[in-house]
Every structure is written in structure tokens, then in C-alpha cells.
Amino acid sequence: MSEIENNTDNTQQSPAKPDMAKKANWAAMFVTIAVVLYLIAANWAVSSIIIVALLGFTAMIVIHELGHFVAARSVGVACEAFSIGFGPFLLAVKQVENGLRVRIMAKTSGVKENPEQDCMFMFTIPRKCKEGETEYCLGLLPLGGFVKMLGQEDTNIVEKDDNPKNFQNKSVGARFLIVSAGVVFNVIGAFVIFTALALYGIEKMPPVVGGVLEDTPAYRAGLEPGDEFVEIGGVSMSVKGKPNLDFTHITRAAILSRPGSEVPFKVLESDGDIREITMVPEKGAGDQFPKFGIMPMSTLEIAEVDGGEELFEKYDIKPGDMIVEANGKLLKSGVELEDMMISVFKPALPVKLLRKQNGGDGSFVSIDIPLNASPSYASGSGDKLADASLCSIVPRLLVEQPGEEAAERAEQQGRDFFKSGDIVIKAADIEYPSFTEFRSLTEQYSGKSMPVTVIRDSSEVSLELVPYVPEGSDSPKVGVVFGLDLNSNVAAYIKKDGFVSSYTDIPRGVKIKSIDGKEVKSFFEMDEVLSGLAGERVSMTFEANGTDSRGSAVINAAEEDKINEIQMYPQDYLPTAQLLREYKADGVIAGVQTGVYMIYDSLSQAYATLKALFMKDSSVGAKELSGPVGIAQLSYKMIKYRGLASFLNLMGLISCLLAVMNFLPIPIVDGGHAVLLIIEKIKGSPVNMKVQQALMYVGLALILLLFVYVTFHDILRLIGLE
């Protein structure tokens, strides 16, 4: 008897010898971990942001699981494991008789039998204590967490026993408390985050109008830069006179409103008056979501942006540089810079920036931003386009940028294609076609070969273009961005019944030689002369291009604001930082009130988004949702460009979204379990276990399908294909 006992003791004290396969598995795992740690260390600037983003997302899920854990323990349900992250588990700690058992690199959690065989090695820290129920684990995959309760399985049938600590043996009320506690903890966690941020202070974009797009609801409502929204959709979110609305509320109001419905606003104008307006968001051509046509207010500081290195090198500018002057005029806001870019009629816009230097006053940097010309403009209502002109004189078409897709199609078909700088002098049977004429020819020649002649490097080049209808479009295109040839004095044609009058018809393609006796060699020089003669009657001389034929005409110079219909736009937009305002509560009570407002706002946004998913003609679909990949990408950008406070604000919003999503009446999530418990309470007995199991599998399939679908679109957006 004694010998048997000794052998038993020896067996228990000797660690099991791992076989070769187990050794190989552990070796492979350590090599993988070492490689991952090396990559993290080698790219620490990026890795550190990703780690913080993952930890933040994990924390929101752990808070949810902590709610289940605390509620279960409070009603006497045994919890076999509580884990932060998923396995394999770097650390698994459990209170055992007279000590703390520590398992390193455990494969599973909550192991009851032969725990030493499930880990790399195990030891016990002596201390006076009783046997505990829960093993606390730290997983290597920081993608969430879980709590493992006795008698609770989502997809497997659990046999009831007589154990009073079994989840199945608790009352409906106790089980409902456990099921709903995760959602409650998510809301509490978000409240703590929002309140702390309100007390600490957080920078957000204020609901201030920075710019208004033409022919949009905001344009028709008479909004102007500097106007500030103080109430949106009947909500002001004001605490002790301090507004808590930000610019995202404007965007959300447009996206989440019922199609065709009016959204009421109260607007604080620059003169201090408050005006009430209503707007119906509209979805323009190419827009993914309906909009009001309001641009956020920007500053004059150069911002750091993804992929901006090439632009910064091109203009020799740096993030943090401050734009102080454009076209010789001192600037006060980003709105003035944007207005300057589209109102100046020059080949390039001269801009001066102030570069800050450590320990000094800084230095000035001067750059020129090339300007391009739009060949057309919207004429009247609708989408009818007219050729842009200078006092009725229409410049020739210039190829600004050939489309990559169209160029590839031409190359595959063995055809030459447009190149940047080409000047169009003939298309089909029209000499010196304008933009509207070329557009009309594109429709006529859809799918057919259209002859085009261009001037390239001072020589004429013949092309054969085949207009095509791109996927997802209804109209054919050639695949090119057109501008206008403003650096020459050659006109494509002169509009009839315009500002130019002549006894004879003026042929197409004439060279404008002089205006009011002053020689002109470009449209910029023409504009300079005509701007000084606004409202006057002046002479113009021209010659037919390529001949000695000369002629003259009279220009009834228009009023100054009507002389030039040609709108310029910058070849490159300087990335300027958006205007930010600190939102900070005055005292603890105001901070708590702000936290409550933010909880209400976030939960309302989540429910409005879900409602919009099922609304007829809604612009919100499943592919617009974001999964872990999209959230990780957004979190990364938030930390990198906006700081930790903005990231925590995002985490608070995600915590509210998790609460709403988890309490939907879908099998497998908390809301589905809650519905089954309510049914059990009403009918006096549980729903058949096999029915429950079938429902859980259906719910799991739906969740997995949604996860795959959302992740697929997240990846498409990440790589720029959507």
C-alpha cells in the first residue's frame, strides 16, 4: 500500500515529458512571437499606434464581458474563466488550495483536469487561501475577451444538473440580469469616458460653416461662411450655455434623415442674430450619401495627411507651416484662401507661408500653385452646361490629365491616346471644338471610332478615340480631364449674340491680336485689358489662324462681374488643418450632464443608423458599416492625427454601439438570449433546447455572414477600391 502511494506521489510531482510534436509546436509558437515582436520594434512609430487602437477596442469588449462576470458572481453563478484577449494564453492564474496556480502559455482556459498538460509549464505561489472558481487569463490575441460560466453555452445543449451554481438552475430574473449586464456596463463605460473627456477637455470641429457649395440646399438657404449651427433637428445639447454640437451632427443629420424630409436648424449668424431654416439633404451625382453642401471651417496651417510626402516635397512645404498671404493679400482664414484660389485669373497663385523655427521667429517660404481652368459652368438650373468664355471668347480645349483606364484601353487596342498638354483642334467634323461640342460628339460616337486631331509639341497628331460607357454609368466618356488653353491667344470660337459684334462672321480658331489697341498674347492678358474697360465699347483685331486674313470687331465689355466666366481651380490643394474648438465642461456637475448628453446622442445615433438600414430609399446600407478592420483603420488615423482624447471619444461611441448591437433581438447575442428568457417567463418553461440550439446556429450564421461582408468592404476601402 505504501509503495503504491509513493509511486502515485512521484507521478504527480514529475512533470509530463512533452513529445517531439509538442516541442515542435511550442518552438514554432516562440519563433512566431519573436518575429512579431521584431516587426513591432522595427516599426515602432506605426506599431505603437496600432497597439493602442487594439487595446482600446479590446477594452470596450472586456468591459462588456466584465458586466456579465460581475452579474454572474453576484447571483451565485460559477465562472470558470475570465479572459482579456483570446488564446493561447500568456498567463492563466487561479486560486487553489494554499496557493496561486500560475500556468504559462496555456492552450485553453478553465481547465479542471490535468492542467499541467495544457500549458508549457506551471507553478504555484504559496499563500493561505481556499480553492477558487475562476481562472483569470491574459490571451496573446488582444481582440476582445470572454467569460466562461458554468452551464452556459451559446451553441451547445447543456445538460441540467443539481449544482446550484449552474447558470441553467438560476431564476429567469437572475439570468436576465446576467445577460443584460454586459450592455449596461458598456453604457456605464461610455458614460465614464464621456464625462472624463468633458472635464479634461477635447478638441472637435465646431458646427461652423466654412464654405457652401453652389446649387445645394445650404446655398439656397443663404448660409454663409462663419454661420454657426446652435440647434440641429431640434437638439441643441447645451450645458450651462455651452454648446456641445459639433460638425459631425450636420453630416449625420443629412445621412440619417428620412429621404425627402426637411431638417430644421437654428443658425447663429455673424451679426449675432439667430435664424431658423429648414433644409432637405440632396444626393448629387457621384455622392455616396445625401448632403447639405456645407464644408467645415479650415485654418491656414498645413496639416499632416496620409500620402502627403510627394506634395510636401513638390512645393517645399512642411506640416505646421502657416499660410499668411496669397496673391499679395494677407489672409485671416481658410475660407479666404479657398475664395482666392477660384477667383484669381492667373497661371499660378503666389502663396507665402511662415515656417516656425525652434528658438527663432521663423522664416518665410514663397511658392506658386499652378491653376487650371474649368472648360464649362452650370447654366441656369439643372445640369445644363455652357462653354466658359472671356467676354464671349471661348479658349481651345486643353488636355489636363488623361484617364488611366481609358489610356490602358487604348493601349490594349493598339491606339494612341491623349497626353497631358495636348490641344484639341479638331474632333470628327468640328474644328476647334468646345467642351460642350466635344461632349455631344462623345455621345454620338459611343462605341465607335471618332477621329481627333491635337497639337502636341508644336506638331499635329491624329488620334482615333472610342468613347465607352464605364461600369456603373449611363453616359459614354472618352476618359480625360479637360481644361482650357489660356496661355495662347487662339480662340476656339466666339459666341454669337454675346459681347462681341462684327459685320462679318468670325471664323473658328482665330488669333486675337489686340484689344483696345493693346497687343495680347494670352487670355490672361486679355482679361487684364478688359477688366480695366468694364462697361465700355472697345475694338478688337484678329487674324485667321494659319493665314494672313485679318479682321476687326467691337467688344461691348461686360460689367466687371460678368466679363470672365472661366473659373480657375488649383492643380493641387494645400492640405490645411480643420478648425478645432475645445469642448470643456465648467465643473463636475456640468461634466456629468455632458456625459449624459453624449450617451443619449451616441445611442440615438446607433439606433438611427440601424433604422436607416431598413428604410426604403435610404443611403445607408450594410456595406457602409465598419467591422474590426474599418474600426482599426479609423482608430489608427484618430490617434495619429487627432490625439488620444479623440480616440477615447471614439471608444466611447463604439462602446455605445456595442451596447445597441448586442441587445438586438438576434439569436447568439445578448438581445436574443433576453427574448428567449422573456418567452420562458411568459410560458412558464424554457424554449425547447433543440429549438434554442437551432436558433443560435442561425444567429451565428447571420453574424458571420455580416462580419465577412463588412470586412470585405472594409478591405476594399483600405486598399482604395471602394
Residues 609-624 have pLDDT tens digits of: 887 777 766 666 667 7
Q: Is the pLDDT of residue 475 over 70?
A: yes
Query: What pLDDT, on the 0 to 100 scale, is given for residue 624?
Result: 72
Cell of 663: 441587445
| 491-562 CATH fold | Pdz3 Domain (2.30.42)
Query: What pLDDT, on the 0 to 100 scale, is given for residue 559?
Result: 67
- Cα 283–Cα 288–Cα 289 angle in degrees, nearest 5: 55
CATH number at 397-484: 2.30.42.10
Q: Is the pLDDT of residue 13 over 60?
A: no
Query: What pLDDT, on the 0 to 100 scale, is given for residue 249?
Result: 92
Question: In the structure, what pLDDT confidence band is assigned to residue 250 with cuts at 50, 70 and 90?
Answer: very high
Q: Is the pLDDT of residue 125 over 80?
A: yes
Least confident stretch, 51-65, 244-258, 476-490, 625-639 = 625-639
Query: What pLDDT, on the 0 to 100 scale, is given for residue 613?
Result: 76
Give the percent of the chain with pLDDT over 90: 39
Least confident stretch, 243-252, 445-454, 709-718 = 709-718
Instruction: Give the whole-angstrom CA distance, residue 488 versus residue 395.
Output: 9
Mean pLDDT of the chain: 85
Domain boundaries, the chain: 1-42, 150-200+587-722, 202-296, 298-374+571-577, 397-484, 491-562
The mean per-residue pLDDT over the stretch 103-124 comes to 85
Asked whether the domain spanning 491-562 has the same topology as the one spanning 397-484, the reply is: yes
Q: Is the pLDDT of residue 352 over 50?
A: yes
DSSP string, 515-541: ETTEE--SHHHHHHHHHTTTT-EEEEE
The winner for highest mean pLDDT among 46-50, 292-296, 613-617 is: 292-296
Residue-wise pLDDT tens digits, 166-187 = 998 899 999 999 999 999 999 9
Question: In the structure, what pLDDT confidence band is assigned to residue 19 with cuts at 50, 70 and 90?
Answer: low
Question: In the structure, what pLDDT confidence band is assigned to residue 56 with cuts at 50, 70 and 90?
Answer: confident
Residue of 381 and 143 predicted with greater confidence: 143
Q: Are 373 and 501 in contact (CB under 8 A)?
A: no
Cell of 37: 515582436
* Torsion from C-alpha of 291, 292, 293, 298, nearest 10 degrees: -100
> Which candidate, 38, 250, 225, 13, places its Cα nearest to that of 116?
13
Q: Residue 671, CB half-sphere, CA atoms under 13 Å: how many?
A: 10
Q: Is the pLDDT of residue 520 over 90?
A: yes
Instruction: Give the whole-angstrom CA distance, residue 498 versus residue 366.
Output: 40
pTM reported for the whole predicted model: 0.74
Question: In the structure, what pLDDT confidence band is assigned to residue 15 with cuts at 50, 70 and 90?
Answer: very low
Question: In the structure, what pLDDT confidence band is assigned to residue 199 with cuts at 50, 70 and 90?
Answer: very high
Give the percent of the chain with pLDDT over 70: 91
Question: In the structure, what pLDDT confidence band is assigned to residue 463 with cuts at 50, 70 and 90?
Answer: very high
| 202-296 CATH fold | Pdz3 Domain (2.30.42)
Which H or E element spans position 237? Answer: none
| 298-374+571-577 CATH fold | Pdz3 Domain (2.30.42)
For residue 287, the tally of other CB atoms under 10 A from its CB is 11
Query: What pLDDT, on the 0 to 100 scale, is given for residue 195?
Result: 95
Q: Is the pLDDT of residue 41 over 90?
A: no
3-state SS class at 337: helix
Catalytic residue list: 65
Peptide bond into 395 cis (omega under 30): no
